[in-house]
Structure 1
Amino acid sequence: MMNALSTLLAAREVPVFNASMAGAAGVELASAVSAAGGIGMLGVTGTPDLSMLSRSGERLHNDGAVWGAGFLSFALERDMAPLHAVLAHQPDVVSLGFGGCDDAITAIRETPAVLLAQVGNADELEQAADARVDGIIVRGSEAGGHGRNDIGALPFLQLAAQHTDIPLVAAGGVTTPRGLAAVIAAGAVGAWVGTRFAVATESQFPDAARQRVIDAQCGDTVYTRVFDIAQRSSWPPHYGGRALSNEFSDTWHGREDDLERQVATTDVITADMNDARASSRFDVGPIYAGEGSAMITRVETAAEIVDDFASYRDYLHGSRF
C-alpha cells in the first residue's frame, strides 16, 4: 500500500527533490523544480528572515507549486517560528534533520504535509524509523553541505532498506540519470539532489561559486569543520560539512584545535571569513558541494536538470548503458 510520500512522488514526472540547501535553494529554484515536474524545496537557515520566508511560502502556494522546506531540528528547538511561518502556507513536504525536535514533529503531523527525516548514520535511522515518519532521507558521506561522515549513500541505502519499510529517499552523489536509476534499483523511491541544483540558473549561488563547482575535479572536496569554527557557527560539532577544498581548508583542516584557539582569542579570522563569504572570495569562504561536483560541467536551468533526470527510466530498464 502506498503511503503519503509514495503517493506524492507517483504524481510527479520525476522522483527528485532539490535539496533544501540554505544559500542556494530559494523560492526561484523551488518554483522552477516544481514546474519542471520534481518537488521544489526551500532551504531554511537557523535564523531566517521570517517575512521573506513567509512571502516565499505564499508565492509557492499561490502558484500551485508542489513544494516544501527543510529545517534544522536543533534550531527549531530554540525557535519554532520559522516552521509555523512555512506551515501557514500549506507545504506539501517538510523535512527535519540534524537532531530531534518533538514539537516540530507534532506540529507537522497536525497538517497534511509529508514528514521527512534526514539521517546520516544507523542511530539516526533507527530514531526516524521509530518515529514512523512518512519518508527517510538517507544521506551518505559524499553529499555536499552539513551532515555526518559515517557511511556512503549506496551502502547506507541498502542497510536502510533492510531495516525499515518506510520509503527512502537517497541523498549523496546522485548527479546523473544513471545515479538516480542506481539508487532506485537499490531501494529508494526518489533522490534528494543538492550539488547539481546548486549550480542551476535559478539557484542563489553566486556565479563565482557556480564556476568553482564546474571546474572541480574528482577529489576536490573535503569534509571538515574548519569553516564552522572560523565563523563561530552554532552547528553541533558532529555535523561537519563537505565543501570544495580551498586555501583556507588546506591551511587549517587537521589543525582544528589550533584554529579554535585562535578564533577564541582574536576576531581576525572570523571577520575575514565573514567578509570572504559576503564578497565571494572563495579562496577563504566555503562552497558547500558534494563529490558529484566532478560530473558537473555547465550551468543549466532547473527544467533542463529535471528533464535530464527523467531519462533514468531508460537506465533502470536496461535500454541505455
Structure 2
Amino acid sequence: MLGVPSAPELGTLDQAAAELEEQGAVWGAGFLSFALERDLTPLTRVLSHHPHVISLGFGESRAALDAVRDAGAVALAQVGNVDELHSAMMAGVDGIIVRGSEGGGHGRNELSTLTLLQIALDETDIPIIAAGGITTSRGLAAVMAAGARGAWIGTRFASAIESDFQEAAKKRLVSAEPGDTVYTRTFDIAQRAGWPPYYGGRALVNDFAENWHGREDELQKALESNETMTTDMLAARKDGRFDTAPIYAGEGSALIHTIESATDIIADLTRYREHLTAAKQL
C-alpha cells in the first residue's frame, strides 16, 4: 500500500505508483477522504497506474469512491466508529477496515478494535478487515477466529528493516513498554497540520507530549506568539529528535522487541494457524 498524504508532491507520487505498476506487484494506495474532497488529482494520478486496491478513510468522498469504481479497483473504507461503519455500508464498498483506538497514527479514539469488529460482523456481510493493536500471530488468530477476513497491520512493520522509519525511531519502538503510547492532538497542533480535530494520533509518549497533552488550548495560544515552535517540530521530525517529534505507533508496540525483516514478520504472523488449530482442540 502506498500511503498518500493530504498534499503530496505529484511528481513523486507518479514515480512511486509507476514503479509499483512496473513491478507487477499486487498493490494499492491509501487516501485521506477529507483531502480528496478538496482535490481529486492525487487519486486520479494513482488510478492512471492501475492499482488493485484503493483505501479511503478519514471522512467521506462520493466523488473519490465513484472514481475508484470507474477504474475497476477494489474499494476499501477505513472506519473508526459506528457512524462511519454505517456510511461505508450504505456506500456499498468492497471491504471495510475497522480501525480500533489501539491503532497507531491518526484515527478515532472511540471504540476498541475487538468491539468495533464484533459490531461490524453482526451488521454486514461486507468483508471486514481488522486494524489496531494487531501485532503478533496470536492477535491475528483472534480477529480471524472472530470472522475478520484479514488484518491491517502497521506498527509491527514500522519496525521492520525495510521500513522508512529512522533507526532512532525503530529503536524507541522496540523498547516501548505497555502504556507507552498516548492518543493526542498535540503534535498536529504544533505542526499546524490540517487534520480534523476528531482525528487525533496515537504515538509513543515523549517529552513534548508529556508537557503539552491535556493543555491543547495553551499550546494553541503559545503557537500564536511563537512561530518557531512549528519550525522546530518539523525540523525535529527530519533530524530524528524524537524527544520532540512524534513516533506514531499503536499499543501493539509493547509486543515488538526486535528489528527484523518484513519477510520474517510475515513468517511469524502466519503462525496464527497454529493458534487456531490449538483452540479447536480445546
Q: For the superposition of Structure 1 and Structure 2, which TM-score range results when normalised by the shorter chain?
A: over 0.9
**Matched position secondary structure for 1:159:** helix
Q: Does 1:208 align with 2:173?
A: no
Equivalent residue, structure 1, for 2:37:
77
Give deviations 1:192-214, integer Å, cap 9, x for gaps: 00000111111111111101101
- Residue number in structure 2 paired with 1:168: 128
**In 2, Cα distance between the equivalents of 1:200 and 1:61?**
23
Distance 2:214 2:73 in 1: 42
Q: Which residue identity lines up with residue 212 of structure 2 in the other structure?
A: W
By relative contact order (CA 8 Å, sep 6+), the higher-ranking structure is 1
The aligned amino acid for 1:178 is R
What percent identity do the matched residue pairs reach? 58
**Structure 1 residues 103-152: Cα deviation after superposition (integer angstroms, max 9, x where no partner):** 10010000221100000000000000000100000000000000000010
The equivalent residue for 1:228 is: 188
- The more displaced of 137-146 and 304-313 is 304-313
Opposite residue 123 of structure 1, the aligned amino acid is: D
How far apart are residue 241 of structure 1 and its match? Answer: 0.3
Q: For 1:113 and 1:309, locate their aligned partners in 2 and report how far apart those are by CA, in whole Å.
A: 27
* 1:232-311 correspondence runs (5 A): 232-311=192-271
What are structure 2's unaligned runs of at least 5 residues? none
Distance 2:73 2:224 in 1: 42
Partner of 1:34: none
Q: Which residue does the alignment assign to 1:188?
A: 148
**Structure 2 match to 1:50:** 10
Moved over 3 A (4+): none
Write the deviation string for residues 175-203 of structure 1: whole angstroms up to 9, x where unpaired: 01111110011121000000001111111
Which residue does 2:53 correspond to in 1? 93
Question: Take 2:69 and 2:32, find their aligned partners in 1: how far apart are those partners?
Answer: 17
Question: How much does 1:264 deviate?
Answer: 2.0
Q: Secondary structure at the match of 1:170?
A: strand
- Structure 2: how far apart are the matches of 1:76 and 1:59? 23
Distance 2:224 2:61 in 1: 30
Structure 1, 201-210 or 236-245: larger mean CA deviation: 201-210
Give the Cα separation in 2 of the matches to 1:81 and 1:159: 34
> Normalising by the residue count of structure 1, what TM-score does the alignment of the two structures yield?
0.86
Count of residue pairs brought into register by the alignment:
281
- Which position in structure 2 is the counterpart of 1:137? 97
Amino acid at match of 2:72: P
Per-residue CA deviation, residues 1-60 of structure 1 (Å, 9 max, x unaligned), is: xxxxxxxxxxxxxxxxxxxxxxxxxxxxxxxxxxxxxxxx11111111211211111111
1:25 corresponding residue in structure 2: none
Opposite residue 76 of structure 1, the aligned amino acid is L
Gaps of 5+ in 1: 1-40
